[in-house]
């Protein structure tokens, strides 16, 4: 049995390496991410996410489940549902949403399939 050279990935919120998240139609939003294991081709894996105060994500639909853990801050979905620090959220495949933060937030996000940008009116 061969041993992997680097079998462990460690990512921290206080380290460098965050890059601006590309969100269709929202290029000015201050949303940053750091890839931990996310594969952009399959849409599966995990990443760390920072949202600055007053920012939002783009409207999107999940082709697979999405889960996220709110480490710090506030997050409110388009339907008014509010998440707070300590909440672990699981969104079913086929669900759609976008989120806003008033004070900013730190999230750990896992996707189990691709997402697709949609128009806000399609929610």
User: How much is the average pLDDT of 31-45?
Assistant: 91
User: How much is the average pLDDT of 26-41?
Assistant: 86
Using pLDDT thresholds of 50, 70 and 90, give the confidence band for residue 10.
Answer: confident
* Confidence at residue 25, expressed as pLDDT on a 0 to 100 scale: 67
**Cα-to-chain-centroid distance, residue 97:** 12
Considering only 39-48, 85-94, 114-123, which range has the smallest mean pLDDT? 114-123
Residue 120, phi then psi, degrees to nearest 5 = -55, -35
Domain ranges in the chain? 19-81
């Amino acid at each position: 049995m061969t041993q992997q050279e680097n079998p462990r990935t460690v990512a921290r919120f206080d380290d460098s390496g965050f890059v601006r998240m590309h969100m269709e139609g929202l290029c000015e939003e201050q949303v940053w991410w750091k890839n931990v294991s996310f594969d952009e081709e399959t849409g599966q894996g995990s990443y760390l996410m920072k949202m600055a105060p007053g920012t939002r994500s783009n409207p999107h639909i999940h082709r697979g489940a999405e889960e996220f853990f709110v480490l710090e801050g506030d997050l409110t979905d388009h339907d008014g549902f509010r998440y707070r620090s300590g909440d672990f959220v699981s969104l079913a495949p086929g669900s759609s949403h976008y989120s806003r933060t008033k004070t900013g937030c730190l999230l750990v996000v896992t996707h189990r399939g691709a997402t697709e940008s949609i128009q806000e009116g399609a929610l």
